[in-house]
């Protein structure tokens, strides 16, 4: 009997989780049962993926950088990667602004619904505003200062410090390039073997993916807010989803133009990573699968994927940037504000930079959105308006973040002759 492909297994798990949750909410004890006996398995699955995120980044980046054997190659690859990241993120923000200004979703929210949402989510909003306030109070070079860890073991103990781990791994790899080959060889052999072990662990963890996403989706459905709130925010959600779909179309187009690979080839290759990103809402947790799909199914050589993807999972957040642009204008519209062209250009710059600072974990984009709102002079309390649908939209935008990372890795591999055609 032919084995069902992984992406179909994940889809079946997602559908099964939703149907199971819809059945359970008809019983008085159903929600509690899902929360107590089903949701923990989804949490375990996410934790297992997060468990190997830091080891994967350390092993893959050190291996990838040291494999280059030439500092000039590193600078060329790094420069091209960052340039493409900035371009695609700017395109995402501009596209989001275009969609939200055409659809005007904020005009559909009634005053009564707005008051209800603000009251329901005011406590959650205050938490995000406090977190963003700390971000704004820091100095202009705080982001640069935060790149260099004072203790690598402390940095590696928290997935939110992924950029610090990346900096250490790149420096370590550069060090391996610069020392004599006979001294570098045993260290490089260790990390090559370590990387193989991590990749094998990924294979084992992914065997449980259908069950993990079943649990995650079941918990999401039973814990969802009142359905009336989703109806009131339908046009906002529609605007975000349309923008994200257009962004995926943009990726497919540039892949076709520069590599001549068909849309079906690219989407089939990255589908399991997209679905896992949708289920976990975490680019970092999805990184192991993204790396496996890009190397094994899209033909990107490991020295490119092991450099581009870990960095992309941390700083390349196209879906998050697009969402921030749509959310900012939507909140302004809901409060009856008309944003000038200058203000919206400011949103492009701020959302691009804020998305780079977003951690690759669920909900981080909401914190950075406060920075975007403050820059545009939009009431920060408007965050409460979008809390009801933020979780499912977070799932969608994470899928786009992962797709963007895969796209950039393919483009870089093509430009450097490292793409297996």
Contact 173, 64 (CB under 8 A): yes
**CA–CA dist 132, 152 (Å, integer):** 25
Position 219 scores a pLDDT of: 84
Identify which has the larger pLDDT, 312 or 227.
Answer: 312
**CA–CA dist 243, 101 (Å, integer):** 11
pLDDT for residue 113 is more than 70: no
* Burial label, 297 (beta-carbon count in 10 A; 0-12, 13-18, 19+): middle
Segment of 100-109, 172-181, 334-343 carrying the highest mean pLDDT: 172-181
Contact 149, 43 (CB under 8 A): no
pLDDT level of residue 368 (50, 70, 90 thresholds): low
Write out the DSSP string of 87-116: HHHHHHHHHHHHHHHHH-GGGG--HHHHHH
Average pLDDT (274-292) is 85
- 419: which strand partners? 300
φ, ψ at 103 (rounded to 5°): -80, -30
Residue (of 111, 38, 84) closest to 412 by Cα position: 84
**CA–CA dist 52, 36 (Å, integer):** 26
Average pLDDT (44-73) is 76
Average pLDDT (99-107) is 84
Contact 92, 396 (CB under 8 A): no
Q: What tokens appear for 372 in the block?
A: 């975007």
Residue (of 168, 237, 181) closest to 392 by Cα position: 237
Q: Determine the distance from the C-alpha atom of residue 119 to the mean position of all C-alpha atoms in its chain, rounded to a whole number.
A: 29
Position 375 scores a pLDDT of: 66
pLDDT level of residue 228 (50, 70, 90 thresholds): very low
Q: Which H/E stretch holds residue 271?
A: helix 263-280
**CA–CA dist 302, 405 (Å, integer):** 14
pLDDT level of residue 206 (50, 70, 90 thresholds): confident
| Phi-psi map region of 139: left, alpha, beta (phi>0 left; psi -120 to 50 alpha) | beta
Q: What tokens appear for 42 in the block?
A: 């989804």
Crossing angle of helices 387-415 and 364-376, rounded to 10°: 100
Q: What tokens appear for 227 in the block?
A: 């359905």
Position 332 scores a pLDDT of: 80
End-to-end CA, the chain: 30
pLDDT for residue 361 is more than 50: no
Position 237 scores a pLDDT of: 86
Tell me how crowded residue 377 is: count the other CB atoms within 10 A of its CB: 11
Percent of the chain whose pLDDT exceeds 70: 78
Q: Where are the domains of the chain?
A: 6-415
* Burial label, 401 (beta-carbon count in 10 A; 0-12, 13-18, 19+): buried
Residues 6+ apart with CB under 8 A from 11: 275
Average pLDDT (204-214) is 85
pLDDT for residue 317 is more than 70: yes
pLDDT for residue 19 is more than 70: yes
* Burial label, 23 (beta-carbon count in 10 A; 0-12, 13-18, 19+): exposed
- 300: which strand partners? 419
**CA–CA dist 179, 184 (Å, integer):** 6
Q: Which CATH architecture has domain 6-415?
A: Orthogonal Bundle (1.10)
Model pLDDT for residues 381-405, shown as the tens digit of each residue: 666 667 656 777 888 888 999 999 9
Hunting for tokens 């006979």 — which residue is that?
A: 182
Average pLDDT (8-36) is 89
Segment of 249-258, 312-321, 340-349, 377-386 carrying the highest mean pLDDT: 249-258
Residues 6+ apart with CB under 8 A from 75: none
**CA–CA dist 162, 400 (Å, integer):** 20
Tell me how crowded residue 372 is: count the other CB atoms within 10 A of its CB: 28
Contact 66, 173 (CB under 8 A): yes
| Phi-psi map region of 336: left, alpha, beta (phi>0 left; psi -120 to 50 alpha) | left
Crossing angle of helices 234-259 and 387-415, rounded to 10°: 10
Average pLDDT (118-134) is 57
Q: How does the average pLDDT of the chain come out, rounded?
A: 80
Contact 71, 177 (CB under 8 A): yes
pLDDT level of residue 203 (50, 70, 90 thresholds): confident
Position 59 scores a pLDDT of: 81
């Amino acid at each position: 009997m032919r084995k069902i492909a992984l992406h179909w297994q994940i889809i079946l798990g997602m559908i099964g989780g939703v149907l199971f949750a819809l059945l359970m909410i008809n019983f008085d004890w159903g929600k509690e049962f899902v929360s107590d006996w089903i949701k923990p398995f989804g949490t375990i699955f996410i934790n297992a993926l997060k468990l190997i995120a830091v080891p994967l980044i350390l092993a893959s980046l050190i291996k990838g950088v040291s494999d280059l054997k030439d500092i000039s190659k590193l600078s060329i690859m790094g420069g091209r990667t960052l340039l493409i990241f900035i371009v695609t993120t700017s395109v995402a923000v501009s596209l989001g602004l275009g969609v939200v200004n055409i659809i005007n979703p904020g005009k559909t929210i009634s005053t009564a619904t707005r008051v209800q949402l603000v009251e329901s989510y005011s406590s959650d909003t205050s938490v995000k505003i406090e977190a963003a306030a700390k971000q704004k109070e820091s100095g202009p070079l705080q982001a640069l200062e935060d790149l260099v860890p004072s203790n690598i073991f402390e940095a590696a103990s928290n997935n939110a410090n992924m950029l610090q781990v990346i900096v250490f791994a790149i420096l370590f790899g550069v060090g391996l390039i610069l020392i004599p080959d006979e001294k570098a060889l045993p260290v490089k052999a260790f990390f090559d073997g370590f990387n193989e072990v991590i990749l094998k662990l990924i294979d084992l963890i992914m065997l449980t993916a259908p069950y993990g996403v079943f649990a995650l989706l079941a918990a999401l459905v039973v814990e969802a807010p009142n359905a009336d709130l989703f109806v009131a925010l339908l046009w906002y959600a529609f605007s975000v989803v349309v923008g994200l779909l257009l962004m995926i179309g943009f990726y497919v187009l540039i892949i076709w133009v520069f590599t001549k690979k068909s849309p079906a080839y690219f989407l089939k290759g990255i589908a399991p990573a997209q679905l896992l990103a949708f289920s976990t809402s975490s680019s970092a947790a999805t990184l192991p699968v993204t790396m496996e799909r890009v190397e094994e199914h899209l033909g990107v050589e490991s020295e490119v994927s092991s450099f581009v993807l870990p960095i992309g999972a941390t700083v390349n957040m196209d879906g998050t940037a697009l969402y921030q642009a749509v959310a900012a204008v939507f909140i302004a519209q809901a409060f009856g504000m008309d944003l000038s062209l200058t203000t919206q250009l400011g949103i492009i710059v701020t959302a691009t930079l804020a998305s780079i600072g977003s951690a690759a974990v669920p909900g981080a984009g909401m914190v950075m959105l406060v920075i975007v709102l403050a820059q545009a002079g939009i009431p920060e309390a408007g965050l409460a308006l979008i809390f009801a649908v933020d979780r499912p939209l977070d799932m969608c935008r994470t899928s786009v973040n992962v797709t963007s990372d895969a796209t950039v890795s393919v483009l870089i591999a093509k430009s450097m002759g490292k793409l297996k055609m």
